[in-house]
Amino acid sequence: MTTVKVVCHRHYEDENEWSCGNWLEYTLVIVLATILLLGSLGLTLFWVINYHGGFAWQEDPKKQFNLHPVLMVAGFITFSGFSILLYRICRCCRRIYVKLLHTIFHALAIPCVALGFLAVLDSHNLANPPIANFYSLHSWIGLVTMGLFAIQFVFGFFSFLILLCCEGATAGFRSAMVPIHASFGLTTFMLAIAACVTGLTEKVMFKLGNRYSHFEEEGYVVNTIGITLIALGILFGYILHRDSFRHRPNVLIRSPDL
């Protein structure tokens, strides 16, 4: 009788089929994505420290606002971006470890987003006179992004828990959910980019007004952050749709006694 045995085994044969060009392309896009993820955060920090006087908490609501862009970029772009990228960086690790790291990186984004949100709420409510809340397109995009992120996190977390409790019984359900979770994950990332770009535009217009059209130095810095984020959106779309970059730790091999 012919039986087929599934063995957990690194996919060396497949890896070896990759040509030099494939490796070059893979390395290039992953390194570029890493530079852009860290670069967008670094540039945002540089912008608020150099042009907006750094950070404070409730004693100075104007400077408290500065925490908002930095923490939102850290949470929604850098941590969430690495969390997604892990599925392409750790191609040969056991999937359970990749899932654990994916959850940890997303969990790290939560305090950043919560504090970033609190900072902008305080900076509006404690201003003298107080500033209205949720009037702008940016704030609406931001709310949708945070809502989707929360749904995705709760859903992903519970799928991970049921994976730990009853792996076999829930395999069908979990694998049916993977494409939905992945597609909404990319949507959330793109929406976060849209929120950041609209937020940056709004802030630079508030501060520079007409001077924005006179090619002020700060305008260049803000535009560079925006383009870095747009480049991330394009690159992530490419990386996630490139089939050969996918995670493939297991191979179906025939039992040697056959």
Q: Give me the residues that bind ligand HEM (CB under 6 A), please.
A: 68-69, 72-73, 76, 120-121, 124, 133-134, 136, 138-139, 142-143, 145-146, 192, 195-196, 199-200, 202-203
Burial class (CB in 10 A: 0-12, 13-18, 19+), 217: exposed
Give φ, ψ of 11 to 5 degrees: -90, 65
Nearer residue to ligand HEM within complex by CB, 146 or 235: 146
3-state helix, strand, coil in the chain (%, to 5): 75, 5, 20
Nearer residue to ligand HEM within complex by CB, 69 or 156: 69
Nearer residue to ligand HEM within complex by CB, 38 or 121: 121
Nearer residue to ligand HEM within complex by CB, 72 or 98: 72
What is the smallest separation between the CB atom of 95 and ligand HEM, expressed in angstroms?
Answer: 28
Q: Which tokens in the block code for residue 218?
A: 């700060």
What is the smallest separation between the CB atom of 178 and ligand HEM, expressed in angstroms?
Answer: 24
Amino acid letter at 21? G
Nearer residue to ligand HEM within complex by CB, 39 or 199: 199
What is the smallest separation between the CB atom of 109 and ligand HEM, expressed in angstroms?
Answer: 10
CA-CA-CA-CA dihedral for 82, 193, 122, 79, to nearest 10: 0
Amino acid letter at 40? S
Alpha-carbon gap, residue 101 to 87, rounded angstroms: 10
Asked if 33 and 232 touch (Cβ cutoff 8 Å), the reply is: yes
Nearer residue to ligand HEM within complex by CB, 159 or 224: 224
What is the smallest separation between the CB atom of 216 and ligand HEM, expressed in angstroms?
Answer: 16
CA distances from 35 to 30, 39, 226 (A): 9, 6, 15
What is the smallest separation between the CB atom of 210 and ligand HEM, expressed in angstroms?
Answer: 18
Cα radius of gyration (the chain):
22
What is the smallest separation between the CB atom of 229 and ligand HEM, expressed in angstroms?
Answer: 8
